[in-house]
């Protein structure tokens, strides 16, 4: 099946697809909830090991770090295509600190105790957009950041929310997937690629088109300057 090509939903430098169908399928270890080809995008700095906060790895592991200080937190999330908002959920709170051991334990518990009734708590704040025969889910958004309402028509690139740490999240990141239904409980995940972005290789940035980033790719997408062609 050919991938659906969409616009990359994030801006700025340092995004990494820590979970990607380029590395394994199903990318999240399950086909449930339309996740077969889903991505998790985390923002990191250029230190080795994928640091998502300025603190050392030992400090992060032992003490945790403030959620709002993580590099990805609060980053605008953009619509990957033009369409209609079919679900816009806000109001789920965030944990104020990220403790990797605690977050991992919560994720394991959620996987072992999952039921359809608990799906809203798994997704947290999220938006689902209907495009041309496909649906995009953008998940784990920050509380109070969802900027769209159900039934609203959005253009490609329009800001629909901000990256957060709600639901079944181990740190502030964007979970992104394309599927064949607005209801994740019955959806089949669809492969998707991103129309254009840049990847850092050997200290230089190289443009990639219709790409499926893997976990070793450090990505950026820079907004054009006002008035630029």
pLDDT digits over 134-177, tens only? 999 999 999 999 999 999 999 999 999 999 999 999 999 999 99
Kindly state the tokens that stand for 67: 């959620």
Q: What's the DSSP call for residue 9? A: S
Percent of the chain that is helix, strand, coil (3-state, to 5): 15, 35, 50
Which pLDDT belongs to residue 157?
96
* Per-residue model confidence (pLDDT) at position 55: 92
Distance CA 1, CA 201 (A): 29
Reduced to 3 states (helix: H, G, I; strand: E, B; else coil), residue 191 is coil
Weakly modelled stretches of the chain, pLDDT under 50: 225-229
Distance CA 146, CA 161 (A): 4
Cα(20)–Cα(219) distance, integer angstroms: 13
Q: Provide the CATH topology of domain 6-221.
A: Glucose Permease (Domain IIA) (2.70.70)
Q: Tell me, what's the pLDDT at 111?
A: 74
Pairing type for strands 4-6 and 192-201 reads parallel
Give the predicted TM-score (pTM) of the model.
Answer: 0.93
Q: Map out the domains of the chain as residue ranges.
A: 6-221
Neighbouring C-beta atoms of residue 225, cutoff 10 Å? 6
Prior bond of 26 cis (ω within 30°): yes
Q: How far is residue 61's CA from residue 183's CA, in Å, rounded to a whole number?
A: 36
Q: By the 8 A CB rule, do 207 and 198 touch?
A: yes
Structural tokens at position 138: 């953008």
């Amino acid at each position: 099946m050919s991938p659906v090509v969409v616009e990359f939903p994030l801006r700025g430098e340092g995004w990494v697809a820590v979970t990607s169908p380029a590395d394994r399928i199903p990318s999240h270890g399950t086909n449930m909830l339309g996740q077969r080809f889903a991505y998790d995008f985390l923002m990191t700095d250029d230190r080795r090991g994928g640091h998502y906060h300025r603190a050392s790895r030992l400090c992060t592991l032992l003490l945790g770090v403030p959620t709002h200080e993580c590099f990805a937190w609060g980053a605008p999330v953009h619509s990957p295509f033009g369409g209609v908002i079919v679900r816009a959920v806000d109001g789920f709170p965030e944990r104020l600190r990220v403790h990797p051991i605690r977050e991992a334990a919560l994720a394991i518990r959620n996987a072992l105790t999952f039921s359809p009734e608990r799906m809203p708590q798994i997704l947290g704040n999220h938006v689902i957009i209907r495009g041309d025969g496909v649906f995009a889910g953008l998940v784990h958004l920050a509380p109070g950041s969802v900027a769209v309402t159900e039934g609203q028509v959005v253009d490609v690139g329009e800001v629909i929310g901000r990256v957060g740490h709600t639901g079944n999240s181990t740190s502030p990141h964007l979970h992104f997937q394309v599927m064949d239904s607005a209801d994740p409980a019955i959806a089949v995940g669809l492969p998707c690629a991103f129309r254009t972005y840049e990847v850092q290789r050997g200290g230089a940035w190289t443009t990639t088109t219709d790409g499926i980033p893997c976990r070793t790719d450090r990505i950026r997408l820079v907004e054009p300057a006002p008035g630029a062609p």
